[in-house]
Amino acid sequence: MPETQNIKNEIVLRGIPASHGISIGPAYLFLKDIPIVEERIIKPEEIELEQRRFSISLEKSSKELNKILLFAQEKIGEAKAKVLDAQIMVLDDPVLIGTIKKRIASENRNAEFIVNDEIGRYATLMLKAQDEYMHERAHDMEDLKNRIIRNLLQERLISKLEGSIIVVAHTLTPADTMILSRNHVLGYATDRGGITSHAALFSRSLKIPAIVGLGDVSRSVMNGDTLILDGYSGTLIINPTDEQIKHYEKKRERMNKFEQQLTGLKDLPAETIDGHRVELSANIELLDELDYVVVQGSQGIGLYRTESLLLNSDDFPSEEEQYLEYKQIADRVYPHRVILRTFDIGGDKIAPATADESNPFLGWRGIRISLDRPDIFLNQLRAMLRASVRKNLSIMFPMVATLEEVRIAKRYVRKAKAELRSHGIKFNDKTPIGVMIEVPSAALMISQIAAEIDFISIGTNDLTQYMLAVDRGNTLVSKLYRQFDPSVVNTIKHVINGAHKRGIWAGICGEMGGNPLAVPLLIGLGIDELSVVPAVLPEIKKIIRSLDYSLMKELAGQALEASTSDEVERMMSKFFKKHLPDIPLDH
């Protein structure tokens, strides 16, 4: 009888690269059993006991999270560890605690059921939003709920693991990421999650390679399967061949050498060989990212998403709360520039003021909400202006579609200034005002819009989506979402030219700016500023410093004549092979 061999099939999955690095090792499937919650009617004499059980569970959950917080403070620093504070604060929320205790008494039901129902409501509401950021926060709430229930049921979660492993999970919370890192974790791979998730942020701080948004990796992997995790390209290979392992070992060696070269670039300008300088800044949404941004050598913040202030809040933050946040950013980044974007909410994004809409992407969002809710808008503008005294702060309006919107928004800026003046409050009267160009109508009207403002920043994600009429989240059509489509490239050029003719600068804060392949094209088109995710800053700077501006202009000229996306992409690849052979771009 022939000897049988157990040869497993190779599976290649693509996800979102969340933390750079390459890991090769065995998989550990981190399955967090969701506690089973049974509804139980309790007798009146059991109410006090049930409420006490809930209090003890809260106390235990708080101790666990505080322990993880201390560990996180030691490993990644106090500022970044503050992410865990949000969960701990929920455990101390008197309104939530009071509501759950009251419901136990009024509904005569067991604590597990009420906790599951009450906290689950918040998580469900957040999950209804299509906004990735709110999804991440929903998972944090879900995790907190399950922690409280596990402690009510006196169940334990295993966190001590053996050997060197690559953790594979459906999703990871910041607490999971931190507690698992006490083991010898080579990498993280998850079904869900985005580049801005707290788990991704922690992975980068811990310097552990990670890929998120892999779809169903947790269903495709078995414990002990050999994995290759490429945190540069977002590729995960399950059961790779020996040849692939050798290939990625060489790539790891090559990338390590490349990253060593990048460490010396931190304080150097983003300047081409022939002396053309580009401003290189970072997109962020959390104060916790500021330290990382500085370490990565950013020249400032090209986009601060103020929507993060709405996290875990039933209402809009007060002017004072906003002012303190904006001031902290402006102080930390000084003398570099910070661009604060006014609330980009509504439509598909959850917020205290939203509406049910059949087509949210074309609905009530961005500047449209601000102009319809002057109370909210003026509050935010006054807070931003108050934080502008160092003169390094700019204000930017999102989702602008018409010239009228720009003019009305500016009237509110003037009104906010007048109100501050009347109270003798200082601010920078010349605070630059800009808009995001992400709607085709605004791109076409760039000449008239540019005459009204001080700068523009192109949001390439939405601009591409609206130009090509493609919902990139819709798997049926997402393949049609192509940022190198000639229509997009020519529109970007049109917007840059329109801005320059009016004597203002043009930047890019969309994902295209952080795509190494697109960088020579964008600079060649004449872009003045690139604002990118902090992780890719050194690599983008290296590309800029390795090229002549004249070469990039020549490349852009050719790209503007191209007829298809494939043609433009082939042009970019050929350019890299010829002029940047030392930059490993097999991402």
d(Cα 443, Cα 95) in Å, to the nearest integer? 47
- DSSP, collapsed to helix, strand or coil, labels residue 271 as strand
Buried b (16+ CB within 10 A) or exposed e, 180-195: bbebebbbbbbbbbbb
Active site residue 423: no
Residue 314 gets which letter from DSSP? S
> What is the CA angle 15-17-19, rounded to 5?
145
Pairing of strands 184-190, 210-212: parallel
- DSSP, collapsed to helix, strand or coil, labels residue 268 as coil
Residue 41 gets which letter from DSSP? B
What is the full DSSP assignment across 534-575? GGGHHHHHHHHHTS-HHHHHHHHHHHHT--SHHHHHHHHHHH
Q: Could you tell me if residue 368 is left (phi over 0), alpha (psi between -120 and 50 degrees) or otherwise beta?
A: alpha
How many CB atoms sit inside 10 A of residue 225's CB? 18
What's 382-435 look like in SS3?
Answer: HHHHHCCCCCCEEEEECCCCCHHHHHHHHHHHHHHHHHHHHCCCCCCCCCCEEE
Block residue for tokens 């109370």 = 375
> What is the CA angle 298-299-300, rounded to 5?
90
- From 198, 336, 423, 494, the catalytic residue: 198
What is the full DSSP assignment across 172-228? --HHHHHHHTTSEEEEEEESS--TTSHHHHHHHHHT--EEE--SSHHHH--TT-EEE
- DSSP, collapsed to helix, strand or coil, labels residue 17 as strand
Return phi, psi of residue 324, to 5°.
Answer: -60, -40
Active site residue 500: no
- From 20, 139, 170, 509, the catalytic residue: 509
Buried b (16+ CB within 10 A) or exposed e, 512-541: bbbbbbbbbbbbbbbbbbbbbbbbbbbbbb
**Catalytic residue numbers?**
198, 509
